[in-house]
Amino acid sequence: MQQALDILAVSTRGAGLYEITDDVAGWVRGTGFQLGLLTVFCRHTSAGLLITENASPAVWRDLQRWMSHVAPEGDHYEHSDEGPDDMPAHLKSVLTGNSVTVPVSDGRIMLGTWQGLFLAEFRRAPHRRSVVMHLAGQ
């Protein structure tokens, strides 16, 4: 087994889901590995990574509304000096987690037909997010 590692920079333009499936799949293809384990890791505490339906923008909107309902803005947070969307962003980041792990076979990420990989930006202001891609395999 061998390893490959790279950084994917994702520029966000406000809160939302940014699909990175093609970027990551292209990188995996470029390594030439046929069998392996892919790990994608987001180096931030106010953004996250998740897998969800890849074909329906309505699902993405419902998902974001749901996360904002579960972790709402409000004046009940002790940590509020970085703006009203900061603490909810930290909570959503714990909700989604910071990494996604997917096996690779025949040189392809083994996502299901309807699965897409997304960076979830939880802050309103534009950010440049650093996402680590690691592949162990052969």
Least distance from C-beta 76 to a copy of itself, angstroms?
A: 8
Nearer to a copy of itself, 26 or 69 (CB): 69
What does the alpha-carbon distance between residue 73 and residue 89 come to, in Å, rounded to a whole number?
9
Q: How close are the terminal C-alpha atoms of the chain, in Å?
A: 5
CB 46 within 8 A of CB 90: yes
**Minimum distance, C-beta of residue 26 to a copy of itself, in the bound complex (Å):** 19
Residue 111's identity, in one-letter code, is L
Task: Give me the residues that bind a copy of itself (CB under 8 A), please.
Answer: 1-3, 5, 35-37, 39, 41, 43-45, 50-53, 56, 58-59, 61-63, 66, 70-71, 77-79, 87, 90-91, 93-103, 105, 110-115, 130, 132, 134, 136-138
3-state secondary structure 54-93: CCCHHHHHHHHHHHHHHCCCCCCCCCCCCCCCHHHHHHHH
The residue (of 124 and 132) whose beta carbon lies closer to a copy of itself is 132
**C-beta of 14: minimal distance to a copy of itself in Å?**
19
